[in-house]
Structure 1
Amino acid sequence: MPTLLALLVGFAGVGYRLALLFADVPPTNSDEATMGLAALHIARGDDFPIWFYGQAYMGTLEAYLAAPLVALAGPSVLVLRLPTLALYASFLLLSWRLTRRLGGDRWYALLVVAVLALGSDRVVKNQLIAGGGYPELNPAGAALALLTVGLCLTGAGARLPRWAAWGLICGVLLWVDPLILPYVLTLGALLVARRWRELAGRAGVVLTGALLLGAAPMLVDSIGHGRNPATAVLAAGGTGAPSDWADRLHGALVLGPSLATGFCSPGRCATWQLWWAVAFPVLLVLAALTAWHTLRRVGGGPGSAERVSAGVRLALLGGAAGVIAAYAVSNAAGQTPIESSRYLSCLAVALPALFWPLRQAARTLAAHRLTAQRQFAEVAASGEGGYRHPPEVESIKATGGRPAGRMARMAGIGALTVVAGVLGTGVAATVDVVRTAPDVHAEADRHRSLVDTLGALGVRNVRGGYWTCNRLTYATGENVVCAVVDDDLSPGFDRLPAYRREVAADPDAAWVAPVGSPLAARLDERVGAESGALDVVTVAGWRIYLPRR
């Protein structure tokens, strides 16, 4: 029964996200379009970029995954996101399998899948937007944890392929996005502690070779151009003046867990949705203590299933703590806590370990109740035929056959309350996404009208803001090329400098700006009847400025 329910819940989670994609949710942006342009260039054979255009970090794995679909169906947001939807589906499957391998029963695995099937605004953005570095992290992290369990339990002869897979995934992750690095370090430390003798032999060679293969794009580029991706990653942790530590801690410890786990409404966290900021660290500590106690208590060899489960759970919890710590020391946590909470997206990898205390408390409560019912039945049966019970039996009958301790009952009820809170808050945040879908779809329709109008006007080159340009260029399959300008009309940040050169060479290049934007207000000053002024065409929330000839 729980397996079937988990399958249905998983299909519901995937179906919900597929429906969002057809409704143009979550909203796309120019960063996602930049990955789309990379996929377009790969599909055409024009370019094979290693890094996200305009920077020396964040690998373009998503572009390579989408390139075959772009080649078949042409450029669109939907074809760009179908691979990320597949990555999400694989994450559900891997999380179910990981939970079971850790010793969780099917009902507990169902809980994990149910939580992951929900989708708040921040969660579906992390999972579906092909903007680089997020959709692939969670399935890769779950796969590493699952491989770690296998490497700790299986015989030596069956481990070499797992060592190769572990190294390959780590290498690819180092190229794509180092946000998952805390999990790599904690799971790797567990493997070193368990299999250090094996790693000194062939396994170490296989692991190293596979890791180098996975990281080959990064290594080749770094050696060839003398670039250090780590420097670029550190620089991306926030710009400008350093954030106040109070702001960083508020962003990382109060807003971060609630946003990343999927408990907040689009663009904001209501006060009642922040209860998870208290529950999360409590669960993290309790889960770590439970795993540590199991490691100290359980007998048998280091390869026993229960000890391996405890070790992997402890590694996952350590990885989650490391992710939060790394985020807390970054400027991004204080400067842009709502949007930057995407850096905590891989906290979901640790959910099978994080919820473990809830499982233990609920199981203890259920076991006590079952035992009490059996004892009461035995006592009641023994009372037939005028049999007089001793005082301790009379006590059991008087209490209704509930010998469970008060602490166990309180812990069990508390666990069920937290589970209800997790599911209830997640459902509320998911409903909020559905409510905003019509507005997001309407905005996407307005952008499609802009594309159609530019085509009808025969416009080939335009200038616009950063969040306009690459989105427009990708949507038109580079039939319209856009150069970025700031609100004061000065040149902006072009991730593909060739676009600026092409636009600069066109004397008839137009301008595009959203209605009511600062850029539109500045361009409106140049609209008039005099020679050299601009003519304006307004279409569905956009203004197109055409040079008068």
Structure 2
Amino acid sequence: MRRHALFVGLLVLIAAARFAILLTSQTHVHSDEAIIGLMAKHILEGRHFPFYMYGQPYNAGAAWEAYLAAVAFAFFGVSVISLKSCIVVLSLVCLFLFYRMCLALYERRAAVLATVVFAIIPSLLKWHFQVRGYSWYFLSIPVLTLLFLSIESTPNRRWPLFLLFGIVSAFSVWSLELGITFNIALWILLLLRRNLSLKNALVAVGGLLLGYTPAIAFNLTHHFANWNVVREKTGGGLALFFRLEALSQIFLIEMPKFFGP
């Protein structure tokens, strides 16, 4: 514990800062957050139990945030603070996992420095408060990386690690389809290992199918609504980047976010 005292102190300081920001400047909601808050209220009242976000057959992470917020509503009442506190807590969990990931890759001082940068970088600051289904995506990156590194560093390569990797990978894609690219990269690295046994490869694929079964069932019973939307949103190809409105969005709106809140 003493070895990680600097990180613990840093985590406490960041937690205090984020909750202070929440209480002073994040007491409002935009449209997506209002919808997820409504979903949480419906869950609490037993009126509806959503699979994806209302009005769209994708982004299951928004529904998962609603279930978490429903628990907060049950204990602390229905409010913006209760809703957004869940995301702040998840952001702190993500910070801890990010630190653990960096420790697995680098020495302790580098891990602390990387964690500080990750915690305060302006372009990511808003995601520590916004209820939009992205929190699980941020959590999945260090979790999957840690599992991948565990597989690489374990001499006998125990099959439960492969099973867990497959399940978490499926949850990552199910929660937010934005994670497909990162997952594909890790799977390619995993399957290209020369000493990977057929048994462990099949166990990993089995875990992937097991974790993704609810999404498969949804698609089979809803005319492939989720897969169709994902295909439509990713099917524009490179032509999208040559549209004037897309270039305007990238250079005038999105890129400036890297240099300010």
Q: TM-score, normalised by structure 2?
A: 0.85
CA contact (8 A) 2:240 2:246 kept: no
Residue 137 to residue 37, structure 1, CA distance change in 2 (3 Å): same
Aligned to 1:142: 142
Residues 195 and 97 from structure 1, CA distance in 2 versus in 1: closer, same or farther, beyond 3 angstroms? farther
Output one character per residue of 1:330-364: Cα deviation in whole Å (capped at 9) or x when no partner: xxxxxxxxxxxxxxxxxxxxxxxxxxxxxxxxxxx
TM-fit CA distance, 1:7:
2.6
Q: In the TM superposition, what whole-angstrom CA distance separates every residue of 1:73-98 from its partner, at most 9, and x where no partner exists? A: 33212222222222211221122111
Secondary structure at the aligned position of 1:53 is classed as coil
Which residue of structure 2 aligns with residue 441 of structure 1?
Answer: none
1: CA distance, partners of 2:96 / 2:10: 11
Structure 2 match to 1:212: 209
Gaps of 5+ in 2: none
Q: Note closer, same or farther for the CA distance 1:254–1:164 as it changes in structure 2 (3 Å cut).
A: farther
1:200-222 deviation per Cα after TM superposition (whole angstroms, max 9, x unaligned): 21x33432333233323322211
- Could you tell me whether the CA contact under 8 Å between 1:87 and 1:135 is conserved in 2? yes
**Aligned match of 2:92:** 89
- 2:66 corresponds to 1:69: no
| Aligned amino acid, residue 31 of structure 2 | S
- Report the alpha carbon displacement of residue 67 of structure 1 after superposing the two structures with TM: 1.9
1:466-485 equivalences under 5 Å are: none
* Rounded Cα–Cα distance in structure 2 between residues aligned with 1:99 and 1:131: 26
Asked if structure 2 preserves the Cα contact closer than 8 Å seen for 1:26 and 1:125, the reply is no
Matched with 1:101 is 104
Q: Deviations over 1:49-81 (max 9, x none)?
A: 111101111111111222212223332122222
Aligned residue runs from structure 1 range 103-118, under 5 A: 104-118=106-120
Larger radius of gyration: 1
Mark the CA change 1:37 to 1:146 in structure 2 (over 3 Å): closer, same or farther: same
* Kept after mapping to 2: 8 A contact 1:152/1:194: no
Aligned to 2:228: 231
SS of the residue corresponding to residue 214 of structure 1 reads helix
Give distance in 2, aligned partners of 1:238 and 1:21. 38
Could you list the runs of 5+ residues in structure 1 that have no partner in the other structure? 267-549
**1:5–1:178: structure 2 CA closer, same or farther, 3 Å change rule?**
same
Structure with greater strand share of residues: 1
Q: Which has the higher helix share?
A: 2
Distance 1:242 1:252, change over 3 A: closer
| 8 Å Cα contact 1:147-1:162 kept in structure 2 | yes
Identify if the C-alpha distance between structure 1 residues 44 and 119 changes in structure 2 by more than 3 Å, giving closer, same or farther: farther
C-alpha RMSD over aligned residues = 2.9
Distance in 1, Cα, partners of 2:186 & 2:255: 22
What is the SS of the residue equivalent to 1:156?
coil
Distance 2:104 2:235 in 1: 39
Q: Cα–Cα, structure 1 residues 12 and 56, in superposed 2: closer, same or farther, change >3 Å?
A: same
Equivalent residue number for residue 259 of structure 2? 264
**Is 2:218 aligned against 1:221?**
yes
Task: Give the CA deviation at 1:116.
Answer: 1.5
2:15 maps to a residue whose letter is V
**Pairing of 1:111-510 with structure 2 (within 5 A):** 111-118=113-120, 120=122, 122-132=123-133, 134-156=134-156, 159-194=158-193, 197-198=196-197, 200-201=198-199, 203-236=200-233, 244-245=242-243, 248=246, 252=250, 256=254, 259=257, 263-266=258-261
Q: For the structure 1 residues 88 and 56, does the alpha-carbon distance in structure 2 shift closer, same or farther, using more than 3 Å as the test?
A: same
> Structure 1's 28 and 62: CA in aligned 2 closer, same or farther, altered over 3 A?
same
Q: For 2:81 and 2:248, locate their aligned partners in 1 and report how far apart those are by CA, in whole Å.
A: 35
Change (3 A) 1:45 1:144: same
Give the direction of change, closer, same or farther, for the CA distance of 1:39–1:213 in structure 2 (3 Å limit): farther
Counterpart Cα distance in 1 of 2:191 and 2:255? 30
* SS of equivalent residue, structure 1 residue 187: helix
Shift of 1:117: 1.8
Q: Quote the Cα distance in structure 1 between the aligned partners of 2:250 and 2:34.
A: 28
Change (3 A) 1:10 1:72: closer
Q: Distance in 2 between matches of 1:77 and 1:209?
A: 40
Amino acid at match of 2:113: L
Contact 2:27 2:80 in 1 (8 A): no
Whichever residue aligns with residue 163 of structure 2, its letter is A
